[in-house]
Amino acid sequence: MATQQPYIRFTNDRQFIKVRNTQTGVVVFMNKSSLLIQRDSSVSMLLKNDSYLGYYKYTDVEFPTTANIDELIDQLVIWVSEDPSTTSGADALLNIRNNYKASGELALVELASANASSSHGETSDALTEMTVTTDPGTRIVRQSREYLPTVFVEKMIVVAQARLSDGSGSDFVTSRVGVFEDQFDVSAVANTTSGRGLFFEHEMSSGSTWAVFRSNVGGVQTDVRVLSKDWSVDPLDGQGSSGYTFDPTVTHLYSVEYDPLTERARLGLLVGGSMRYCHEFGRVGDKVPAMTMHAPVRWELTQTDPESSDAPSAPATMQQGRATVFHPSTESSDGRSNPSVRSANVGADKEVINTVGESRPIFSLRLKEEANRAKLAAVKLTVVNTSAGGVGRWELVENATFDAGDTEFEDVDAEVSFAQFSSAETVASAGRVAASGFVMGTGVTLVDLESKGIYVSSNVAGAPETLTLRVTNVNGTLEILGGIEWIERE
């Protein structure tokens, strides 16, 4: 007599547990809000809500795959306890819109080898195309300027848009998207603790995709890689709980969710408004994914081993799109704990500017190099002119260019501050003007910066950005003093 094959499939479908009988084709959607799950024996269980009751034998269950009925019930309870809308009621901590090139560039930093590039269409909803060539060492990275904080009370949800493959099948090319950094990129000062994250990784030649948990073990970057066929929730091959088939040549919304309270992290795709979770990472040794994040949202296209002689066999591309980071609730306005207000000024050292048209830097602010994951958010600027009749234009400039050896950054407070301050510069050219205004005659100009979103962090290599007050003489003589207040966030 033939053995009865399992035919009941339970799947997680937003606010419902979906029960499908593959023999009859009958599908039942049981609302989670009133669902009772009861174990009747070692081989059977009951599911009941306000409108439906069903008895199920463990041996009849085809999906999810579990070792016994207790594990099956545990999985159903996890599904029932999940928020049916993972971003419902959550605030956006970070938005990378990328509608036009400029909007994306303000939130992103890029690191590209001489033989790699990015290009962006100047139309709404355009994606940035990242390209590597057949030259050795070719790679390109685009990541958020901000490192995301690790919030120890609530989970974080990151959704990043990407197309991982162009279908070229190029040998020795790997694409990645998620929340992560790479020890290969980071400068020596921060290198001993760098190398962490959660991300999707795709190999173009084989078409294989992995879920990856990266951590720093004893100063060495270590990856735990899980191939899609072994994903713990859904292999996304059309045969899993969602029935969805993943295609890396199609643009997707990739999700990384990490929850410190449960010590777990989940990766998935947001498809048609529903989250398709594919793999879950728990504790690996003493490393807890949700506790070791503090990394940027990142897109990466690279020669699989940048230090190898195995260069790509053909040019290859991936596409980078938007990203949003959600947090249900946080300890501060931007999700970072321990915000601290600091200030610094030039003291009594006036900068005298006699010549009309002449520009001089007054001061500069930056992070310590070893604090490359922190953020300094400007909240108030003070500009003082002690010369009657003088008129000047002030600019707060991000990443100005200084003469070699012209800066003397010193710790604001070596014990409690992440910041360094300098008033030694004599030249500060170029840079992006984040705010500007005028000083006229003797007086004090106070500028509220808190709502302007001006901050400094670090680039891909961990080198600090700078924020500089630059004043240009418009008329007469200027005698300028300056100071700034900022909030430091971990």
pLDDT at residue 230, rounded to an integer: 95
pLDDT at residue 188, rounded to an integer: 59
pLDDT at residue 275, rounded to an integer: 81
Name residue 484's beta-bridge partners: 344, 381
Q: How confident is the model at residue 363 (pLDDT cuts 50, 70, 90)?
A: very high
Is the pLDDT higher at 249 or at 89?
249
pLDDT at residue 226, rounded to an integer: 95
Cβ neighbours of 211 (radius 10 Å)? 27
Which of the residue ranges 77-81, 422-426, 484-488 would you say has the lowest mean pLDDT?
A: 77-81
Q: How confident is the model at residue 458 (pLDDT cuts 50, 70, 90)?
A: confident
Do the beta carbons of residue 86 and residue 157 sit within 8 Å?
yes
Mean pLDDT value of segment 345-354: 89
Single pTM value for the model: 0.75
Is the pLDDT higher at 378 or at 74?
378
- The answer as to CATH 2.60.120.200 being correct for domain 91-327 is yes
Q: How confident is the model at residue 218 (pLDDT cuts 50, 70, 90)?
A: confident
Do the beta carbons of residue 62 and residue 9 sit within 8 Å?
yes
Mean pLDDT value of segment 182-193: 72
Please state which of the four CATH numbers 3.30.420.40, 3.30.365.10, 2.170.120.12, 2.60.120.380 is assigned to the domain occupying 340-489: 2.60.120.380
Residue 231 has pLDDT above 90, yes or no: yes
Establish whether domains 91-327 and 340-489 are of one fold: yes
In the chain, the percentage of residues whose pLDDT exceeds 70 is 85
pLDDT tens column, 110-148 = 888 888 888 876 544 568 889 999 998 889 999 888 888
Token digits of residue 357: 């048209």
Residue 394 has pLDDT above 90, yes or no: yes
pLDDT tens column, 2-11 = 567 899 999 8
Mean pLDDT estimate for the chain: 83
Mean pLDDT value of segment 26-55: 88
pLDDT at residue 331, rounded to an integer: 41
Domain residue spans in the chain?
Answer: 8-81, 91-327, 340-489
The 3-state secondary structure of the chain, one letter per residue? CCCCCCCEEEEEECCEEEEEECCCCCEEEEEHHHCEEEECCCCEEEEECCCCEEEEEHHHEEECCCCCHHHHHHHHHHHHHCCCCCCCCCEEEEEECCCCHHHHHCCEEEEECCCEEEEECCCCCCCEEEEECCCCCCEEEEEECCCCCCCCCCCEEEEEEEECCCCCCCCCEEEEEEEECCCCCCCHHHCCCCCCEEEEEEECCCCCEEEEEEEEECCEEEEEEEEHHHCCCCCCECCCCCCCECCCCCCEEEEEEEECCCCEEEEEEEECCEEEEEEEECCECCECHHHCCCCCEEEEEEECCCCCCCCCCCCEEEEEEEEEEEECCCCCCCCCCCCEEEEEECCCCCEEECCCCCEEEEEEEEECHHHCCCEEEEEEEEEEECCCCCEEEEEEEECCEECCCCCCCEECCCCCCCEEEECCCCCEECCEEEEEEEEECCEEEEEECCCCCCEECECCCCCECEEEEEEEEEECCEEEEEEEEEEEEC
Residue 374 has pLDDT above 60, yes or no: yes
Name residue 39's beta-bridge partners: 45
Which of the residue ranges 361-370, 388-397, 404-413, 428-437 would you say has the lowest mean pLDDT?
A: 404-413
Q: How confident is the model at residue 364 (pLDDT cuts 50, 70, 90)?
A: very high
| CA distance linking residue 176 with residue 267, whole number of Å | 13
